Every structure is written in structure tokens, then in C-alpha cells.
Amino acid sequence: MRILIVAGARPNFMKVAPIMRALQQYQRNVQLRLVHTGQHYDDAMSGSFFRDLGMPEPDVNLEVGSGSHAQQTATIMQRLEPVLLEFAPQLVIVVGDVNSTLAAALTAKKLNIRVAHVEAGLRSFDMTMPEEINRLCTDAIADDLFTTDRLADANLIRQGVPADHIYFVGNVMIDSLLACCNIAASAAYPKRVGLESRKYATLTLHRPSNVESAEKFEELLGALAEVATNIPIVFPVHPRTRQRIKDFGLQPFFVDRPGQTGIWMTNPLGYVEFLSLNASARLALTDSGGIQEETTILGVPCVTLRENTERPITITEGTNHLGGTSRNSILEAVTVALNRPEGDHRIPEKWDGKAAQRIAEIIVGRL
Ligand code: UD1
């Protein structure tokens, strides 16, 4: 069986790594090819993740780079089509909700190739999010839908997906997290930059709705600067966010040294370094999807700087609090998060490090 797996942007790599490892155990039956679309290309956004996660070099890199959503999606489709025609896989696996996910699913399906979507069924019900559009469209055409929780199954059923196309397998992102926890602990990034365990908060911000408007971004930073008077904040900055800080003249919000009262910016961190930073944090502040899940497993309180989440299980079972994006709602959520009793969360069902193995068994079992 020829299987082609597609990765494109930072949050894809930790999902693809365990699936590849699980499928490689079936080498006698499976010929696997990894395509990197090149949506992310900086070493800090891509190469370092491949190294940290022990991933092989991609067999093909489409080198699409940055562009508008239409440009990026269309270029991936144009460049992936000949690769699919040449390799003629029986299955294309896509993960997550980035532009590469939708572009690859659409290209494969139009060639009548079976498509598997890993992390299917998540819904924020917010159609202004590019990822929600990617999730909806990918799920509408995928043949095998692998889900992380039972609410995702229900979302898919409501959307008309036949039940026998849906497989609740757990969370492949957590497979990577559990596999790398020990290496992350020994990486000891916080110690290296002089941060004391549980005496700082982490911050990530890159959603267009938060950082593309000067007014909104400034309001957010104002609220976060207030939080940082109590607990210093470490902020590894996405390249686009860094550009906006410059464009909007927001540099005065930041301090020079880690651990100093205030918000300290640093370059994007690799997978293992960021995991070690988050694992020892007192609090995580984020608008990322994956970090809501990771902090649930790490037991670190998280405040999500958004009005909604496609991952409500991280609130009902995990350590996540929806903080919204206005000053008052953020400060309120931070207080609640900092006061939550330790250990007051559950590990969601099947977030046990074995999700990729379940996926591989289902795929290979069909042979
Ligand atoms: C993408 C995903 C988002 C994910 C995020 C994680 C979509 C629609 N969005 O958003 O879901 O949470 O990745 O990072 O797919 N850039 C660099 N170096 C890189 C890559 C990007 O400097 O290696 C800069 C460029 O200025 C580029 C901008 O970041 O224009 C945006 O990159 P893009 O991949 O389009 O979207 P992200 O905002 O990263």
C-alpha cells in the first residue's frame, strides 16, 4: 500500500511524527512518502521541529512559501498534483487545520484518492477563522475521519458524515508530547535563561484576529502587561506577530530580560525547548489550539485569548479557561486560572500516547 502523508506548518509536525513512526512498523506492507508543502520554511518554524521530533527529511518539498490564502492554497494544489500522479498513493493522510491540510485533501480527492483526516471534527463555529473553513471543507470530503474526542464525533455526525467513517482514536499531538517529555525536562530551557520553575507565565499570540488590528493587539498587550506585574511573562514570538509589533510601534510593551517584571520577547522556540518552558510554567496564555491541549496534559493552567475554542474538552476536563480578548475578561480568567486547585483536571479519554498506533492499525487492518 502506498501512503502519502502531508505536513506544511508548525502545528502539523508533532502530529505527523508519531503517525509516520507507527506506520513505519508495517514497512513490509506500507510504502510511505512524506511531502512538506513548505508553508512554513524558517528553521525555527520547521527544520528545528523535524530534528526535535526525529522526523526524516521530507521526500518532497513543494516550497510554496508565504502568500495570501488563495495563493498558498492554489500553489500547494498545483505542485502536489504531479507528485500524487507520479506516486499514485492509495491513501493521502492530512492532519490539523492549516491551509496545507485543505489544499492537499482537495487535490487528492479530485484525483479519486482516498483521504484520511487526522484531528477531524473540531469546531469553533466561528467562520471568520481560516482554520474553521479548512476544518469544515476537509471533513466534508475526507473518507476516514480520525477524532480526538467524542464531541468531534458528534459534530461530524451532525454534518452528515456516516458513522462508519469516523474513528475515535485519541490525540496524536499528545503522543509526541509524552514521547518528548523526558528530553524536554533535560533540555531545561527555563533554567538556561534564568527562570525559576512556576514563577513565570508563557505567552503565544498569532491569530490574525488578535494581532492584525493595531487596536486589538494594543488592548491585549495592555491587559497582559497588567498580568505581568504579578508574574513575569515569556513570549516566544511568531515571525508575523513580530512584524506587527514593529509595524504598530508596540515595542514599549516589552522588557529586556527574562524574569524581569513585564513581558519578555524571544524568538520562536523549537518543540523541545517550548515544551520544557511550558511544563514548568505557572500559567500559559495563548491563542493557539495545540497549547490548550498540551497544558491540559501538563496540568498547567491555561488562559485562551480568544472568544471561542474548537477544543472545549480542554475546558470541561482540562486546565483551560476561555479568557476572551478584552482587558476585564482576561484579568478575570487569569485570576480564576491561578486559583484553580492543583490536580483539579482529568486526562481526556485516549490521550494516552497511543493514538498514532490506533490509526496505523486501522489503516493497515484494511489491507
Ligand atoms: C499558520 C496556520 C495556523 C497555525 C499557524 C502556526 C493557516 C491558515 N494558518 O498560520 O492555523 O496556527 O500556522 O504557526 O494555515 N512566516 C515566516 N516564516 C515561516 C512561516 C511564516 O516568517 O516559516 C511569516 C510570513 O511573514 C508569513 C506569515 O508568517 O507571511 C504567515 O505564515 P502562514 O503560514 O501563512 O500563516 P501562519 O500565520 O503561520
Q: What letters, b where the CB count within 10 A reaches 16 and e where it falls short, cover 12-49?
A: bbbbbbbbbbbbeebeeebebbbbbbbbbbeebbbebb
Residue 251, in any domain of the structure: yes
Does 79 sit in the ligand 1 pocket, CB within 6 Å?
no
Judge if 123 and 188 occupy the same domain: no
Nearest CA owner, ligand 1 atom 22: 239
Judge if 236 and 322 occupy the same domain: yes
Residue 8 Cα to ligand 1 middle (Å): 10
The answer to whether the beta carbons of residues 115 and 94 sit under 8 Å apart is yes
**From the alpha carbon of 45, which atom of ligand 1 is closest?**
23
The answer to whether the beta carbons of residues 2 and 53 sit under 8 Å apart is no
Residue 161, in any domain of the structure: yes
Residue 345, in any domain of the structure: no
Does 267 sit in the ligand 1 pocket, CB within 6 Å?
no
Identify the H or E element spanning 225.
helix 214-227
Q: What letters, b where the CB count within 10 A reaches 16 and e where it falls short, cover 54-86?
A: ebeebebebebeeeeeeebbebbbebbeebbee
Helix (H, G, I), strand (E, B) or coil at 130: helix
Range of the domain at 105: 2-171+351-366
Judge if 102 and 183 occupy the same domain: no
Judge if 190 and 159 occupy the same domain: no
Q: What CATH number is attached to the domain comprising 76?
A: 3.40.50.2000
What string of DSSP letters covers 29-40?
T-EEEEEE--SS
Is 40 marked active-site?
Answer: no
Residue 40 Cα to ligand 1 middle (Å): 6
**From the alpha carbon of 238, which atom of ligand 1 is closest?**
14
**From the alpha carbon of 98, which atom of ligand 1 is closest?**
15
Residue 344, in any domain of the structure: no
Nearest CA owner, ligand 1 atom 33: 66
What per-residue confidence (pLDDT) applies to 134? 98
Judge if 252 and 224 occupy the same domain: yes
- Return mean pLDDT, the chain: 97
Of 36, 40, 117, 206, the catalytic one is: 206
Does 71 sit in the ligand 1 pocket, CB within 6 Å?
no
Judge if 106 and 209 occupy the same domain: no
Judge if 235 and 321 occupy the same domain: yes
Judge if 76 and 8 occupy the same domain: yes
Residue 346, in any domain of the structure: no
Residue 218, in any domain of the structure: yes
Judge if 247 and 126 occupy the same domain: no
Residue 323 to residues 45, 67, 235, 304, Cα–Cα distance (Å): 26, 31, 17, 5
Does 246 sit in the ligand 1 pocket, CB within 6 Å?
no
Residues 6 or more apart from 30 whose CB is under 8 A from it? Answer: 1, 2, 3, 23, 24, 364
Residue 45, in any domain of the structure: yes
Count of structural domains, the chain: 2
What per-residue confidence (pLDDT) applies to 366? 85
Residues 6 or more apart from 339 whose CB is under 8 A from it? Answer: none
Nearest CA owner, ligand 1 atom 7: 98
Helix (H, G, I), strand (E, B) or coil at 320: strand
Burial label, 367 (beta-carbon count in 10 A; 0-12, 13-18, 19+) = exposed
Judge if 100 and 223 occupy the same domain: no
What per-residue confidence (pLDDT) applies to 169? 98
**Residues 33-84 pLDDT 10s:** 999 999 999 999 999 999 999 999 999 999 999 999 999 999 999 999 999 9
pTM greater than the 0.95 cutoff: yes
Q: Tell me which of 13, 37, 40 to substitute to probe ligand 1's pocket, judged by most ligand atoms within 8 Å of the beta carbon.
A: 40
Q: Tell me which of 39, 49, 119, 271 to substitute to probe ligand 1's pocket, judged by most ligand atoms within 8 Å of the beta carbon.
A: 39
Residue 323 Cα to ligand 1 middle (Å): 23
Residue 343, in any domain of the structure: no
Which residues of the chain fall below pLDDT 50? none
Judge if 247 and 157 occupy the same domain: no
**Residues 177-204 pLDDT 10s:** 999 999 988 888 999 999 999 999 999 9
Does 66 sit in the ligand 1 pocket, CB within 6 Å?
yes
What string of DSSP letters covers 270-307?
PHHHHHHHHHT-SEEEE--SHHHHHHHHHT--EEE-SS
Q: Any bridge partners for residue 114, and if so which? A: 91
Judge if 260 and 292 occupy the same domain: yes
Q: What letters, b where the CB count within 10 A reaches 16 and e where it falls short, cover 320-352?
A: bbbbbbeeebbbebbeebbeeeeeebeebebbb
